[in-house]
Structure 1
Amino acid sequence: MTANGRAAAEPAPGRYRFDGFVVDVAAHTLTRDGVAVTVEPKAFAVLAVLLVRAGELVGRDELLDAVWGHRHVTPGVLTRVIAQLRHALGDDAHHPRYIQTQHALGYRFVGTLQTEQPARAAAPIATRAAEPVAVADGPSASVPAALPSPRRRGGEPPARMRPRARRSVRLAALVLALPALLLVWNARQPPATPTVAPSVAVLPFTPIGRDEADRYFAEGLAAEMHDALAGVPGLKVAAWLPATAGRADPRALGQRLGVAAVLDASVQREGQRVRIRARLTDTATGFTLWSRRYDRELGDVFATQSEIAREVASALVGVLPDAGEGLRRRLAPTRDVAAFDAYLRGLHALASGGDRPAAGVYFRRALAQDAGFARAQAGLCRVEAWRFETQRNAAAFDGARLACRTAENMDPGIPDVQLALGDLYRVRGDLDRAAEQYRRIVEDPAQRASALVGLAKVEAARGRPDAALALFRQALRASPSDARIHAEMGYRLYLANRLDEAVAALKRATELRPDSAEHWGLLGALLLTAGSNEAAMRALERAAAIEPDAGVLSNLGTLKYQGGDYAGAAALYRRAARLSPGNHQLLGNLGDALLADPATAAQARDAFREAAELAQRYVELKPEDAKALAALGWYRANLGQREAAVALARRAEALGGEPAEVAFYNAETFALLGDRDAARARLQAARAAGLAETRLTTHPLFARAGLLERPPAAVRGADLTAGLHQEKTP
């Protein structure tokens, strides 16, 4: 009898109906008004268990045991499945019509089950355990009045008098039947909404409070969280997103990135306290899967980060036995908050504007606070390796080698150290060892893009431009919003004499990071190479407004040099040399400007002498650098060292690297030494290699030597520094 005293027909075996929904356990289908509703197999199994025990509280552990077969997964997985069910049923967690949450205990089905005539087409389930079990009214029952009672069989006591074990047997039998039903689930479901594997996108955290000065802290915490979650087995983490992605709708992001959830957070620092509000959102529904506020001492930031990461991993995949410890280690690289703060500032300097000198300052500050901070040592190694590579600064290599060896002694197994070692070996010319280090971490989700960039540079150094560009494209697939990869690839495209593509890549880098002086400066150099001097000037001035670094000042000086303003060029070269001491090219540029002006020509010798000393130290470390050898020959020629200059020119040509630059320097050398035929042959080689004609026609030495009687039409260069005295390398 129903609560109103009327007899009720029993539902078809294993079949439940409520508000237009029909759940057929045997067929493993969920429909609404005859239209199939797609849910995950685990979600369907949870719904079936709740329907069997309709009106009763089913504990979390019971559901985990029944559906997953064990409790090694965490309750967060169940929370995600319940959220999916609510979306499929159009339910509201705050005002539930079907699934009610009993906080920290479990769930109950509170919908009104409707009566129906047994359907002939309904396939009977093999076990009686699939029969719907109704709960008789009683003091503890929480069942709607219209819920039908099961048919009473001979000798069977009323529902409220049956032993509880009977229901447990039925529930267990239903669970035993579910695995067989799950096997046919995918084949029977319509393909309308594919299930998304456990996956998450981590958005840049939003700083709240005083000003934008704390952005580095919020974004640094997010980047650390991204890399830590990327190491959780079974969890796919989307590539790092730019800061603008934080304003995107989670559902749109989920569709674009193919992820099941989005993690975002706001961060506020006040004195020695930090407040973090974190939220995990289901991208299919827009529902919040998990959220929490933390108000902690600043010193607890490491533990707070670990808690958030564990909650996220738990909600999406459950945590393997050792995953929690791995997250803790990854998110607590130091126990010193001041060291961590400086480290995050260093990372921000690298990521936002490419300000590597400032990054080096911050990494050193972090090490002053915690001398055992291995990741800060690795960061310092990479900064110094960059200085050696781009500025031809011999002292920087000693700094890189010391930092890398120290980091290796501290913690050789962490990917940060292996990446830094790869950079060290690569800039030194030990390409096989460099490739070995990069390959060790290429499958690490957090380091994959950087490792692929390293391998691309190795291939470029081996003279394999096509292989290098293929690896750069792989890196972009791993991290499409990383401006540094676009810039690096643009430089290699330019070296491969694909200038239009190179300019496009650099423009994309400036779009992604409009605050990067390095990228604007490199774009300006490319435009100058293409003969677009006005556009080049605008890009270089924009770079100078952000951060007037040595390369930008030198390139602006070159524009003045080409325009015949040698005094203005010399002033800019002097400023650049002060910003980057140890860079022989800047002092060589200064010597060129001083030599071109009769009023200052006598001062040029001192600049060339200092440039020669620095270049000599560099080529002793890297004797395969053809351009550096040719530049040293030019310096020696200006110092009156004829035999040394000629020998260096020949050595540079024998190496075969950077042919346009080598030919240009050697043309200068032979013109100064009075060998016009040798100089003219080098000018022809420079043109054939793609050197920009403006580089030649604006050189006063070539004009005085009568080497430019009939200059050919301008040729677009294959070297980014065409028309530039300072190479600007990412």
Structure 2
Amino acid sequence: MAVGAGNGNGQGRAECYRFGPILVDASAHALFRDGRPVPVEPKAFAVLLVLLRHAGELVRHGELLDEVWGHRHVTPGVLTRAVAQLRQALGDDPHDPQWIQTRHGLGYCFVGTLDAQPERRRTPAAADAADASPGPTSATSGTSPAAEGGATATQAPPPPAAPPTPVPASPPPAGTGERRVLAPDRRAATPGRRRWRWPLAAVVALGVVLAGLLLLWSLRDRAPLPAPSIAVLPFSALDGGRDDRYLAEGLARELHDALSGVHGLEVAAWQSPVEVAREDPRATGRRLGVATVLDGDVRLEGGRLRIHTRLTDVGSGETLWSRVYERDMARVFETQHEIAQEVVRRLVGALPDAGEGLRRRLAPTRSLPAFDAYLRGMQQLLRGGGDRERQAAAYFRQALAHDQGFARAQAGLCRVELWRFEAHRDANRFESARLACLRAENMDPTMGEVVLALGDLYRVQGEYERADEYYRRIENDPALRAQALIGRARVAAAQGRATLADAYLARAVEAAPSDADVHAHQGYQHYFAGRLPEAIASLARAAALRPGDAYILSTYGGMLLTAGRNREAEAVLERSLAIEPTEAVLSNLGTLKYQRGDYAGAAALYRQATTLNPGHFQIWGNLGDALLADPATRAQARDAFREAATLAERYVALRAGDARALAALGWYRANLGEAEAALDLVRRSEALGTEPAEVAYYNAETFALLGRHDEARRRIEAARRAGIAEVRITTTPILAAVLADDSRTTGR
């Protein structure tokens, strides 16, 4: 609760809160921690006051945005940033919150215990004020013990460890006692005159306290000076008809990552080009809560590079610095360094190493063709599309052909190959991924990108503790923080620690709110934990940030399909197909046909998907399902299930912690007549406790095929509870037969 204190004359109340080592004075706009003032930006301070005024209650995102920002021209990212700053100021751990608790998808809640009354320490000023003001009498007498003992003066107490509460103590009601005064010098006391003698220590202490109060008063209407801050926006390409976006966005991202490592400079998370294109640069800066914005445009023509950059003050709109560079492309590294140096000089000042660290970060290779290929590879990953990883891998190999020691390109290749292994569930890709990662480690084991790649490798291999150690090493690197947190979240999820995984992903979203991949990973984690509505919301956000990414759209459509929202799913999947045919979108469209009873049409799409990715066991399993459901092709199903089982067996040998893969393999084994092996896989999949919806669905099919209908019914109910749509259950022939048998038995 808020506690009030009088203003010294009995009029008005000042809003003051104390909890733990924290003191918050609303009127002075001041926050103290362990007795020391802590700077807090005005908006963050306003958020804290709202939470304190509703201590113990959930305050929803929209309510906070309305209360603090008026919901004008802002996104939830500004609120996330404000809460992150508050946690830092309060010393609060987001994973084990003592003061501010995140209610994911809802809002925030102050969960600390507020003092019912503020602790009032009798500082020298407070003691003197009390001695000179009407106050209660002593329990035994109306005069002080010192006066009774004949002392010449009372000794002021020593200054407290914490600053005084910046509001005086409330005066007592009038008439409660006699005036307490410092004992006069009795030798000089006369009825008409009093002489006061104060010890020097008391005078000095009083001066210190008054100076502190004066400082607090001067801060009440003055916002703390923020640290220099900047948003580096994706540069635009003035390509005269050619697509040079890879170069424009790549150079801007290189500058962003390099500036993120400058001590004393706050750099906003990288922004999606789609989101930035909707806004004026100053509006983007206001949304991100930064003081300055760096934007620009790039043109490459005839080997000549033209870069126009501009540094803008967000508040005033003033251009702080602008320059046009027209040089040979061979001088690109030098040009990047000059731009970064100029930004740092204007915002921070001279760097201790004269910018040598920036120079090294902005020149990762001496080969211009290698750098060009690397930027093209990174653009493939960022632009989206089902075939993006194959093209990215080709560009990274091209970069390495020009510079065999280009560690950043090697790390990129490592991560792409691992992604292909995981996304396509193709065991054939694992060995090439492992070798690519080990080569990166040999080149530079300390480089952040290499450390991230090795974390991915050990996570995929199931060495979770080792993987987490690698991710932790780079968690404080601003350029890699979001990806490191995603890695830690995936480790926690694989270990069955869903709450911890959620916390890491929430921090990743805070670190990179405009990164579509972060939201896609968050969506998959929600799905992994059985929270389908949240998964769909996260994938919708990812698709909005990167609308041209066929892979994200396919995943989003698959989530809608899983939820039984088939009409919406079909529209999203058709958008994905129009961008690029991928095995995932073809398979999902095949499942729509399967649910409509068009088994031949489904089988045709599944076969087409296997030609794009012949190593994906689940697509072969889907083909087996479609062939099995159609009496005309039932005899062909066994061959499809055999191929699915062979591929899945190789996959789970590498990823024994993939519960869905184990459950699917159990279904394939049951179709091949291997009942004992199927039941063992059912037990193993359920023991992991992850992906409850898919595991229950597959295991229900397995038990139904083996004639154990009671066990099948229990899994059907478990699948329903975990979020599997009813349409998916009722359109699966073997499960529909179990439900029909229930209806006949109960007479319903």
Could you tell me the TM-score, scaled by structure 1's length?
A: 0.68
Return the alpha-carbon distance in structure 2 between the equivalents of residues 429 and 485 of structure 1: 22
Return the alpha-carbon distance in structure 2 between the equivalents of residues 397 and 325 of structure 1: 38
State the shift of 1:186 in Å.
10
Contact 1:680 1:707 in 2 (8 A): no
Q: Partner residue of 2:527?
A: 494
Deviation string 1:538-583 (CA, Å, 9 cap, x unpaired) is 0111111122211111111100011111111111111212222311
Secondary structure of residue in 2 paired with 1:432: helix
Deviation string 1:626-677 (CA, Å, 9 cap, x unpaired) is 2222222222232333333333333333333333323322332333344444
**Paired residue type of 2:314:** T
Return the alpha-carbon distance in structure 2 between the equivalents of residues 282 and 642 of structure 1: 70
Return the alpha-carbon distance in structure 1 between the equivalents of residues 446 and 403 of structure 2: 19
What pairs up with 1:454-493 in 2 under 5 angstroms? Answer: 454-493=487-526
Secondary structure of residue in 1 paired with 2:258: helix
Q: Partner residue of 1:22?
A: none
Return the alpha-carbon distance in structure 2 between the equivalents of residues 541 and 684 of structure 1: 32
Q: Partner residue of 1:448?
A: 481
Return the alpha-carbon distance in structure 2 between the equivalents of residues 619 and 608 of structure 1: 16
What pairs up with 1:485-634 in 2 under 5 angstroms? Answer: 485-634=518-667
Return the alpha-carbon distance in structure 2 between the equivalents of residues 690 and 708 of structure 1: 23
Residue 413 (structure 2) pairs with residue 383 (structure 1): no
Residue 352 (structure 2) pairs with residue 287 (structure 1): no
Return the alpha-carbon distance in structure 2 between the equivalents of residues 343 and 619 of structure 1: 33
- Pick which of 282-291 and 379-388 moved more: 282-291
Q: Partner residue of 2:360?
A: 329
What pairs up with 1:171-570 in 2 under 5 angstroms? Answer: 191=221, 195-211=225-241, 213-243=243-273, 244-245=275-276, 248-322=279-353, 324-353=355-384, 355-570=388-603
Contact 1:207 1:266 in 2 (8 A): yes
Secondary structure of residue in 1 paired with 2:244: helix
Return the alpha-carbon distance in structure 1 between the equivalents of residues 573 and 278 of structure 2: 31
Ranges of 4+ aligned residues in structure 1 off by more than 6 Å: 184-187
CA separation of 1:711 and 1:425: change in aligned 2, threshold 3 A: farther
Contact 1:487 1:505 in 2 (8 A): yes
Q: Partner residue of 2:80?
A: none
Return the alpha-carbon distance in structure 1 between the equivalents of residues 529 and 744 of structure 2: 25
State the shift of 1:496 in Å.
3.1
State the shift of 1:245 in Å.
2.4
Return the alpha-carbon distance in structure 2 between the equivalents of residues 254 and 195 of structure 1: 17
Contact 1:250 1:286 in 2 (8 A): no
Contact 1:203 1:246 in 2 (8 A): no
Contact 1:251 1:286 in 2 (8 A): yes
State the shift of 1:439 in Å.
0.8
What pairs up with 1:96-107 in 2 under 5 angstroms? Answer: none
Secondary structure of residue in 2 paired with 1:268: strand
Return the alpha-carbon distance in structure 2 between the equivalents of residues 326 and 711 of structure 1: 75
Contact 1:702 1:708 in 2 (8 A): no
Contact 1:197 1:259 in 2 (8 A): no
Return the alpha-carbon distance in structure 1 between the equivalents of residues 572 and 634 of structure 2: 31
CA separation of 1:194 and 1:254: change in aligned 2, threshold 3 A: farther
What pairs up with 1:144-159 in 2 under 5 angstroms? Answer: none
- Pick which of 425-434 and 557-566 moved more: 425-434
Deviation string 1:193-235 (CA, Å, 9 cap, x unpaired) is 7544222211111100223621121111111110001111121
Could you tell me the TM-score, scaled by structure 2's length?
A: 0.67
Residue 719 (structure 2) pairs with residue 686 (structure 1): yes
Q: Partner residue of 1:127?
A: none
Return the alpha-carbon distance in structure 1 between the equivalents of residues 608 and 247 of structure 2: 32
Q: Partner residue of 2:16?
A: none
**Paired residue type of 2:240:** R
State the shift of 1:711 in Å.
10
Return the alpha-carbon distance in structure 1 between the equivalents of residues 719 and 229 of structure 2: 53
Contact 2:494 2:657 in 1 (8 A): no
Return the alpha-carbon distance in structure 2 between the equivalents of residues 567 and 630 of structure 1: 25
Return the alpha-carbon distance in structure 2 between the equivalents of residues 711 and 518 of structure 1: 43
- Unpaired runs of 5+ residues, structure 1, are 1-183, 713-730
**Paired residue type of 1:362:** Y
Return the alpha-carbon distance in structure 1 between the equivalents of residues 316 and 580 of structure 2: 44
Q: Partner residue of 1:664?
A: 697
State the shift of 1:382 in Å.
1.5
Contact 2:456 2:467 in 1 (8 A): yes
Q: Partner residue of 2:9?
A: none
State the shift of 1:392 in Å.
2.2
**Paired residue type of 1:367:** L
Contact 2:527 2:691 in 1 (8 A): no
Secondary structure of residue in 1 paired with 2:298: strand
Contact 2:428 2:615 in 1 (8 A): yes
- Pick which of 281-290 and 293-302 moved more: 281-290
Identity %: 62
State the shift of 1:253 in Å.
4.0
Contact 2:231 2:267 in 1 (8 A): yes
CA separation of 1:678 and 1:617: change in aligned 2, threshold 3 A: same
Contact 1:415 1:447 in 2 (8 A): yes
Secondary structure of residue in 2 paired with 1:319: coil
Q: Partner residue of 1:700?
A: 733
Deviation string 1:677-724 (CA, Å, 9 cap, x unpaired) is 444444344334443222221112334567654399xxxxxxxxxxxx
- Pick which of 330-339 and 308-317 moved more: 330-339
CA separation of 1:253 and 1:187: change in aligned 2, threshold 3 A: farther
**Paired residue type of 1:197:** A
Contact 1:408 1:417 in 2 (8 A): yes
Contact 2:563 2:724 in 1 (8 A): no
**Paired residue type of 2:382:** A
Return the alpha-carbon distance in structure 2 between the equivalents of residues 650 and 353 of structure 1: 38
CA separation of 1:396 and 1:187: change in aligned 2, threshold 3 A: farther
Return the alpha-carbon distance in structure 1 between the equivalents of residues 425 and 678 of structure 2: 19
Secondary structure of residue in 2 paired with 1:446: coil
- Unpaired runs of 5+ residues, structure 2, are 1-213
> What is the aligned residue count?
530
State the shift of 1:482 in Å.
1.2
Return the alpha-carbon distance in structure 2 between the equivalents of residues 647 and 415 of structure 1: 42
